């Protein structure tokens, strides 16, 4: 047997000269028999080879992985059964710089039928792990079980920087089983803390710089639809660029206030007032002494998901007869 091995090696002298060199993300295989199988592996056990492509470069063959194989991972190139290991390299860990910038609503008093939170991060995050890192704790520090609608397809914005966290609607809606059996997720008079733990990873795979906590007190349920007729306006003077302000009398949904309240005739910038209780508008040009009209899309919501003229859960008296109006509501005013 030994003799046979020697003879075979003699016949394939070229195989002994095989060398593999890593050039950044490319693996250069020199001296390989052209027919040899070439594959790159990472990970242990029965794993398939890394996806990638082969091309020739002079007498060499180059393997280019489909995706970057980090140098912090050990890998091995196998050429015709011979293993060329590339041990993991020590790399400096990336700095933990990503933070939770804000959680909306910013108010510290939240209705018992609160519908959602927005968690805004300083940089894009990695989807798919929110439910491992986000918790709601009661006053004793115990997690509130199944408080949120934990769907796999997490509700991120396009940039991956803002996560929408819905409370389980089954524990808000009246007359459904989860509410009658589990009770509400939030109880009026109690204090809670929303926690985003520091192990939540950003787009780079780097954990947050710090844990984030937001504590709040739960107040009575809000079962009142939004009524723009009850809003108060602070009107600027003509010829100035003072802000126009609408005071809602309650906090409204931060994202929807900025998107669904518009003053199309005036170029300018809307901003949220403290605790999302106000919409302020600063025009680019001074106000003119004319009549203006603000449009309010009826999809605007308060913290409990009540819309303009329509409650989150409607008492239907068994039949649904009307389709909710999609038309805007309007607020008219004159600048003097």
Partner 1 sequence: MLKKWIAAVTLTAVSAFAAPGTGLVTKKLELGSAGPLAFGPAGILFVGDSANASLIAIDTGDRAANPGAGNIELKGLNQKMAAALGTTPDQITVQDLAINPVSRNIYFSVSRGTTPLILKLDVAGKLTELNLDSISHSRVSLPDAPADVKDARGNNKRMETITDLGFAEGRVFVAGLSNEEFSSSLRSFPYPFVAATKASSIEIYHGAHGRFETNAPVRTFTTYMVANKPHLLAAYTCTPLVTIPLSELTAGNKVKGKTIAELGNRNRPLDMIVYTKDGKDYILMANSSRGVMKLPAAKLETYQAITAPTEKQGVPYETLTELKGVQQLDRYDAKSAVMLMLDGGSLDLRTVALP
Q: How far is CA 37 from the centre of its chain?
A: 43
- For residue 84, the minimal CB distance to partner 1 (Å) is 16
Instruction: Please identify which residue in 60, 138, 197, 203 interacts with partner 1, judged by CB under 8 A.
Output: 203
Instruction: Please identify which residue in 91, 97, 108, 180 interacts with partner 1, judged by CB under 8 A.
Output: 180
Helix H or strand E encompassing 26? strand 26-30
Site string for partner 1, 136-175 (x = CB under 8 A): ---------xx--xxxxxxxxxxxx-x-x-x-xxx--xxx
134 near partner 1, rule: CB under 8 A: no
318 near partner 1, rule: CB under 8 A: yes
Number of residues that bind partner 1 (CB under 8 A): 89
58 near partner 1, rule: CB under 8 A: no
Torsion (CA) 219, 222, 227, 232 in degrees, nearest 10: 0
- For residue 205, the minimal CB distance to partner 1 (Å) is 7
Instruction: Please identify which residue in 41, 102, 209, 219 interacts with partner 1, judged by CB under 8 A.
Output: 41
23 near partner 1, rule: CB under 8 A: no
Torsion (CA) 103, 158, 303, 106 in degrees, nearest 10: 20
Tell me which stretch binds partner 1 (CB under 8 A): 6-14, 120-128, 213-221, 227-235.
120-128
Q: Which residues contact 328 (CB under 8 A, 6 or more apart)?
A: 295, 296, 297, 298
101 near partner 1, rule: CB under 8 A: no
284 near partner 1, rule: CB under 8 A: no
Question: Which among 313, 125, 297 has a CA at the least distance from the CA of 212?
Answer: 125
Tell me which stretch binds partner 1 (CB under 8 A): 1-9, 214-222, 283-291, 298-306.
298-306
Q: Which two tokens stand for residue 53?
A: 């492509």
- For residue 175, the minimal CB distance to partner 1 (Å) is 3
Residues 124, 233: Cα–Cα separation, whole Å: 37
Tell me which stretch binds partner 1 (CB under 8 A): 9-17, 61-69, 76-84, 95-103.
61-69
80 near partner 1, rule: CB under 8 A: no
Phi, psi of 118, rounded to the nearest 5 degrees: -110, 130
Q: Which residue has the tokens 């933070």?
A: 99
Residues 169, 176: Cα–Cα separation, whole Å: 9
Tell me which stretch binds partner 1 (CB under 8 A): 186-194, 231-239, 285-293, 297-305.
297-305
Q: Which two tokens stand for residue 188?
A: 């009026």
- For residue 213, the minimal CB distance to partner 1 (Å) is 23
Residues 295, 288: Cα–Cα separation, whole Å: 18
Residues 111, 311: Cα–Cα separation, whole Å: 14
Whether 186 contacts 218, CB under 8 Å = yes
Q: Which residues share a beta bridge with 134?
A: 196
Rank residues 4 and 67 by Cβ distance to partner 1 and give the closer one: 67
Rank residues 318 and 336 by Cβ distance to partner 1 and give the closer one: 318
Question: Which among 57, 37, 50 has a CA at the least distance from the CA of 76?
Answer: 50
Instruction: Please identify which residue in 17, 68, 327, 336 interacts with partner 1, judged by CB under 8 A.
Output: 68
- For residue 6, the minimal CB distance to partner 1 (Å) is 27
């Amino acid at each position: 047997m030994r003799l046979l091995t020697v003879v075979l090696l003699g016949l394939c002298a070229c195989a002994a000269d095989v060398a593999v060199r890593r050039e950044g993300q490319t693996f250069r295989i020199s001296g390989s028999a052209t027919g040899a199988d070439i594959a790159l592996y990472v990970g242990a056990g029965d794993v398939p080879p890394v996806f990638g492509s082969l091309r020739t470069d002079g007498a060499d063959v180059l393997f280019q992985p489909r995706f970057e194989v980090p140098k912090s991972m050990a890998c091995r190139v196998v050429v015709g059964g011979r293993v060329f290991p590339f041990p993991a390299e020590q790399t400096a860990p990336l700095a933990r710089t990503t933070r939770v910038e804000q959680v909306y609503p910013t108010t510290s008093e939240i209705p018992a039928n609160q519908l959602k939170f927005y968690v805004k991060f300083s940089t894009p995050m990695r989807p798919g792990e929110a439910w491992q890192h986000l918790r709601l704790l009661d006053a004793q520090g115990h997690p509130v079980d199944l408080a949120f609608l934990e769907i796999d397809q997490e509700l991120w914005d396009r940039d991956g920087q803002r996560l929408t966290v819905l409370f389980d609607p089954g524990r808000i809606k009246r007359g459904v089983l989860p509410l009658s059996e589990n009770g509400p997720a939030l109880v009026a008079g109690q204090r809670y803390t929303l926690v985003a733990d520091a192990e939540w990873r950003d787009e780079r795979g780097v954990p947050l710089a710090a844990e984030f906590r937001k504590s709040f007190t739960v107040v009575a349920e809000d079962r009142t639809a939004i009524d723009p007729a009850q809003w108060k306006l602070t009107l600027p003077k003509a010829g100035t660029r003072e802000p126009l302000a609408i005071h809602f009398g309650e906090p409204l949904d931060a994202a929807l206030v900025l998107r669904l309240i518009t003053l199309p005739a005036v170029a300018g910038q809307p901003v949220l007032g403290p605790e999302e209780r106000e919409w302020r508008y600063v025009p680019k040009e001074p106000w003119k002494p004319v009549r203006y009209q603000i449009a309010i899309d009826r999809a605007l919501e308060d913290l409990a998901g009540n819309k303009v003229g329509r409650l989150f859960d409607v008492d239907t008296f068994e039949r649904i007869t009307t389709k909710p109006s999609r038309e805007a509501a309007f607020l008219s005013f004159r600048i003097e």
